[in-house]
Amino acid sequence: MRSSEHTLLFAASIALAVGVASSASRADAPPLPSASAAAPPAASGSAAKPAGSEEAPRPKRPERDANTCFTCHLSLPDAKLRKAAEEFSHSVHKDERIGCVACHKGNASDPTVQAHDKTTGFIVRPTHAQVAALCGGCHEDPTFVRRFNARLGVDQRKLFELSRHGKMAAAGDAASPTCTNCHGVHGILAVSSPNAEVNRRRVRDLCAKCHGNVETMKPYGLAATQPVAWSKSVHGKAFHEGSEQAPTCTGCHSPHAGTLPGTASVAALCDRCHQDERELFLKSPHSRAFRKLGLADCVPCHGDHDVTRTSWLAGMTPDSACAKCHSKDDKPKKVAEDIAVLLEDVQKAEHAAAVDLAEAKTAGLLVPDASFAVDRLRTAKIRLITTVHTLDMQQLGDDANAAKMIAQEARDLLTKARRDRQVERRGYFVAIGLASLLLTLLVAKSIQLARRRRRGES
């Protein structure tokens, strides 16, 4: 009975499978033409419509590669034509949402020469005057830019047009720099890339290509000494030593605005890093005098590109900043000399404390308190240098005395550490001596007991 039931179920399954396959094949087969479909087309030329539908769906045209320009140029035998594609392969613009047509226009989906049809807007090579507007077409659009980098500004073109570089380019000066002169043409890299010429670590060399070239600067009446002067300055030396705070060209001049700082703006630039110095300077006699003479706040003493060490500025030596104006005035001369003495004393105290601390660490001493004191001494020295901007001898004297007290504290801590080390060593010697004596007595006692034991046995 069970065998017959199994047989019936198996037969029913086969019948069901055959029925499903048959209906599927009928669904896949093309529908038979109706009478209206088989009839010749109407006089109006309209296509016949399948029964049960208003309009037959049109097949979609297969989409071509959005980067047909790149694919084609990369395969060209001509190295000159292929170079653009090779450079573009590493560009930040190599994105199907940007591609070649963002700058050159044309039709990137057409693999024929029709893609180069100028009547449809194709641009072979943008002119020098067109570059800024062409780049700004995308970089001014916040909606478009934020799809790639939400932190990227959208005011570069406006800043460039306000800059001297932008005004020169607008006036038709073909030698003036524009976007592609700094960022490149096809191989544009992100500013964060260490290989990008606009990267912070390389921007000085980029600016030096023009501003360090005498022949390039000669028609504009500008000196070509700024890049070398900056490299020798405290800013340049700190930068080459790896400082991330040291300003480069774009730190003061701005990457796109590139404006030449005037008398009023120089101090505002310095103020971005040296706020305390600026506030104290505004309270000093120099602030009022500089304004009467039309001088910038910082440049007369510190310079602009060749900013020197502050310790070299005070005093009345031939190279000092004070001697430029006060060589004949008795009172300012005395103030300058007194300031130089205070600075020199504190610097000597700091140097001596630092050397003493290094020797203690080399000897293996653990001196965290002394290390902290030396750090405080460096801070006190910086405070003294900052206070120089006030020309207030009372305040300068107080700051110098405070620094000297910290230096003395560091020396006392190091002296105590050495004394404690000597006491510890003496204690070690005493302990070793006592241990040796005890060990000797134990050995002697053990020998004595061994001898007695042998006598007793004999």
Indicate whether 371 belongs to any domain: yes
Q: Which range has the top average pLDDT, 52-66, 143-157, 251-265, 346-360?
A: 346-360
- Given 249, 273, 307, the domain boundary residue is 307
Give residue-wise pLDDT tens across range 246-285.
999 998 888 898 776 665 677 778 888 899 999 999 989 9
Cα–Cα dist 327/317, whole Å: 10
Indicate whether 444 belongs to any domain: no
Domain count, the chain: 2
Output the pLDDT for position 22.
43
- Given 275, 307, 339, the domain boundary residue is 307
Output the pLDDT for position 407.
95
Indicate whether 204 belongs to any domain: no
- Mean pLDDT along residues 34-46: 39
- Do 347 and 277 lie in a common domain? no
- Mean pLDDT along residues 121-130: 87
Give residue-wise pLDDT tens across range 335-389.
888 999 999 999 999 999 999 999 999 988 888 999 999 999 999 999 999 999 9
Local confidence band at 149 (pLDDT 50, 70, 90 cut-offs) = confident
Indicate whether 177 belongs to any domain: no
Indicate whether 387 belongs to any domain: yes
- Do 365 and 397 lie in a common domain? yes
* 445 vs 24 pLDDT, higher one: 445
Indicate whether 412 belongs to any domain: yes
Output the pLDDT for position 51.
46
Out of 24-38, 100-114, 144-158, least confident range: 24-38
Percent of the chain with pLDDT over 90: 40
Out of 88-97, 226-235, 431-440, least confident range: 88-97
Indicate whether 314 belongs to any domain: no
Above 80 in pLDDT, residue 47? no
Output the pLDDT for position 333.
86
- Do 299 and 376 lie in a common domain? no
**pTM for this predicted structure:** 0.69
Indicate whether 395 belongs to any domain: yes
Range of the domain at 357: 330-418
